A and B are shown apart, each in its own frame.
Chain A
Amino acid sequence: MGNLILDILTTAAILFITSAGLLIIFGVMKIINFAHAAFITVGGFAALVAHQIGLPPLLAPIFALIVGGVLGAIAEAVIVRRLYERPLDAILATWGLGLIMTQLITASFGRGVQFLPPPVSGTVKVLGAEYSLYRIVLVGVAILIALAFTALLTRTRLGLSTRAVIMNEQLAQGLGINSARVRLITFGIGCGLAAAAGALITPLTSLDPAMGLPFLIGAFMLVMVSGGSLPALALACLVLGGLQAIVSTYVGSVLGGLTIAVCAAVALRIRPEGFARV
């Protein structure tokens, strides 16, 4: 039982970490960043570079956040900015951007699997069960990310402008808010978060040019049911991730892998606003 509770919590935490970047971009800009997977990969390789230049492991996710954020901001200024009025073209453009980034990573680091020593290893005894210490650390990281972004949105000038742009962009512009700047910063933060997620999951996954891809569909589904709200995303991760862990434990992992997609589709059919405004 202790194992199951921890599986649920840690699965939800990993899902939250890997979808938060996608959600923030969707919340402000109403576009889905299909380059999200590539930015996760960028983060994994940023952690590798951080290791190679001798940064301590604790700084790797922050290094990845900066690398992803800068690349994301460049992508916004060069490509995405032109496509806000054409959301379908934005999907195509970000998907293409993701392919190009993945190929560039393959060209510079090779196709094979790379290895990074984990920042922490070993297990701890929680709720009567021996459990991976790193997975438990990730629960704390997920909470930290949630708190940091809630604070950013509610306690800062930038957050105020961002919320204004989310509510009514034209009105916000009329009040002198530079919405182009808000979008640039938001896209950069979203991509930076995706990259930080990539750096955070490398101790648990393989580090290769396709590492981000498996997380994209799950993140996409979770963001769709959350409707762009951060607390709704946390709830969706907990409920759907929990169901995934339960199905995997008691039925089988192949069905478990389908749980999020199936439940998200059913949830949206019954309640189009999903977990938003619960």
Chain B
Amino acid sequence: MKQRQTGILLTSVASFAMLASAAAADTPIRIGVPVGLSGANSVVAPSVVQSTELAIEQINSAGGVLGRPLELVVADDGSGAAGAQRAFDTLIFQRQVDALISMQTSAARNAGLPILSRGNVPYIYTSFYEGRSCHPNMYVNGWVPEQQVPPLVDHFNATYDAQSYFLIGSDYSFGRGMLEFTRAYIEEQGGTVVGEDYLPMDGTDWAPIISNLRTSGADAIITSTAGGAPNVTLTRQLRDAGIDLPYGNLAVDEGTAASMGSVAEGIYISASYVTGIDSDTNRDFLAAMEAHFGDDLRTPNDLSVPQFEAVLAYAAAAEQAGTTDTAAVIDALAEVTVEGPRGSISMSHQRHAPLTMYLGQVTAEGDVDVIAAFDAVDPGDQCPDL
């Protein structure tokens, strides 16, 4: 009995699939978004889903892609490896999505890549990350260390004549990866790193590190902790210990800085998106988000805006290729340029995108003052084989 039911179910699924291919002209193009609705990314994930919704709605109201509407399919990846494998599997093989576009943790992305190989769909990764993740089906439009770190170090050199640096991070791949690059860049510029230390992810007491920082005589601090609690704990304790050195934070975003209030005052951040970008595209985008989501709006940020632009990029690539066929779309993705809130974005450089980077400083009111913009910062050699 059970077998027969399964048999009927399979037959009906198969006939649906046949119907779908027969009626391709008006069936939706499915965009799969595996994202951390639960776990570490759950604070930012709703903003990412919102910007995807707006992009899809704008594209659909302008006639869709290849005459077909886009359809959003969201799956929770639990912010980690096991959840990402389930989410990729569900989206690619059960929901039959045409492309994956998402912001994820590095662990989740790495776990999903083998499934991407089997399922063979295009994938646009929209999170900033530690760099050098390469896959034939993957494009990246978030920043890498080569783009984020130099504006900070260059500014500290020029403004504060900072020669010696103290680096503090959380003990995990992003924290160590970012600071490894930072150390190399500082030394390349002729500076020295007088101290470098990490606290485990669940550590709460930064006092010994702060004491070492105090005796090191460093001119400036650069930190790369996990977002959320470790970042807040470290910043509070630095402030509480009266440390007032120039302080660059590689892990704080505009929204968190705003909610931290006076504790965050003076922190330097480096990002590819801040809400204060002075362009019509950005103002239109913010107004459209506001109109669409009203009181439920999650403040757009450096993770949700690349997600918005990636949906536009996929739409442009499919239009240019004239098909949703994976190989053709992957070729086209390197060629298209989208005008988004962050400016003109083209993932033309070894699957990564040159980006305009903004150096900002948090004010006493929690706003971010843009101090300098660095045009088209090159991502460097990320995937020389692709």
User: Which A residues fall within an 8 A CB radius of B?
Assistant: 3-4, 6-7, 10-11, 14, 111-113, 115, 117-118, 121-123, 129-132, 134-135, 201, 203-206, 208, 210-211, 213-215, 245, 248-249, 252-254, 256-257
> Residues of A contacting B372 with CB < 8 Å?
none
State which of B203, B228, B242, B260 has its C-beta within 8 Å of the C-beta of A257: B203
| Cα(A121)–Cα(B236), bound, Å | 10
> Residues of A contacting B214 with CB < 8 Å?
3, 129-130
Q: Chain B: which residue is nearest A257 at the CB level?
A: B200
Q: A204-B233, A205-B233, A208-B228 are in contact. Are A249 and B208 (CB under 8 A)?
A: yes
Shortest Cβ gap from A11 to chain B (Å): 6
| Cα(A208)–Cα(B202), bound, Å | 13
| Cα(A203)–Cα(B199), bound, Å | 19
Q: A112-B259, A113-B229, A248-B208 are in contact. Are A213 and B240 (CB under 8 A)?
A: no
Q: A115-B261, A245-B208 are in contact. Are A213 and B202 (CB under 8 A)?
A: yes
Q: A7-B208, A115-B261 are in contact. Are A210 and B229 (CB under 8 A)?
A: yes
> Residues of A contacting B42 with CB < 8 Å?
111
Whether A204 lies near B240 (C-beta < 8 A) is yes
Whether A254 lies near B240 (C-beta < 8 A) is no
Whether A11 lies near B229 (C-beta < 8 A) is no
State which of A206, A215, A254 has its C-beta within 8 Å of the C-beta of B233: A206
Q: A253-B198, A253-B199 are in contact. Are A134 and B207 (CB under 8 A)?
A: no
Q: A122-B242, A253-B203 are in contact. Are A248 and B236 (CB under 8 A)?
A: no
Whether B199 lies near A123 (C-beta < 8 A) is no
Whether B205 lies near A14 (C-beta < 8 A) is yes
| Cα(A14)–Cα(B204), bound, Å | 11
Task: Indicate if B241 sits at the interface (CB-CB under 8 A).
Answer: yes
Task: Indicate if B211 sits at the interface (CB-CB under 8 A).
Answer: yes
Shortest Cβ gap from A17 to chain B (Å): 12
Whether A254 lies near B208 (C-beta < 8 A) is no
State which of B43, B204, B261 has its C-beta within 8 Å of the C-beta of A214: B204
Shortest Cβ gap from B371 to chain A (Å): 24
Q: List 7 A-B contacts (CB under 8 A).
A: A123-B241, A211-B229, A213-B202, A245-B208, A249-B211, A252-B197, A253-B199
Task: Indicate if B154 sits at the interface (CB-CB under 8 A).
Answer: no
Whether B256 lies near A3 (C-beta < 8 A) is no
> Residues of A contacting B240 with CB < 8 Å?
118, 121, 132, 134-135, 203-204
| Cα(A248)–Cα(B198), bound, Å | 10
Shortest Cβ gap from B38 to chain A (Å): 9
| Cα(A118)–Cα(B117), bound, Å | 51
Whether A7 lies near B207 (C-beta < 8 A) is yes
User: Which B residues fall within an 8 A CB radius of A?
Assistant: 42-43, 171, 197-200, 202-209, 211-212, 214-215, 228-230, 232-233, 236-237, 239-242, 256, 259-263
Whether A252 lies near B198 (C-beta < 8 A) is yes
Q: Which of B208, B209, B212, B230 has the most CB of A within 10 A?
A: B208
Q: Which of B43, B198, B212 has the most CB of A within 10 A?
A: B212
Q: Which of B204, B230, B233, B259 has the most CB of A within 10 A?
A: B204
Whether A11 lies near B203 (C-beta < 8 A) is no
Q: Chain B: which residue is nearest A113 at the CB level?
A: B232
Whether A115 lies near B259 (C-beta < 8 A) is yes
| Cα(A215)–Cα(B203), bound, Å | 9
Shortest Cβ gap from A258 to chain B (Å): 8
| Cα(A35)–Cα(B212), bound, Å | 35
Shortest Cβ gap from B178 to chain A (Å): 16
Shortest Cβ gap from A233 to chain B (Å): 18
Whether A206 lies near B211 (C-beta < 8 A) is no
Q: A3-B214, A135-B240, A257-B199 are in contact. Are A11 and B207 (CB under 8 A)?
A: yes
Q: A115-B259, A248-B208 are in contact. Are A206 and B203 (CB under 8 A)?
A: no
> Residues of A contacting B229 with CB < 8 Å?
113, 205-206, 208, 210-211
Whether A112 lies near B208 (C-beta < 8 A) is no
| Cα(A135)–Cα(B237), bound, Å | 10
Shortest Cβ gap from B358 to chain A (Å): 23
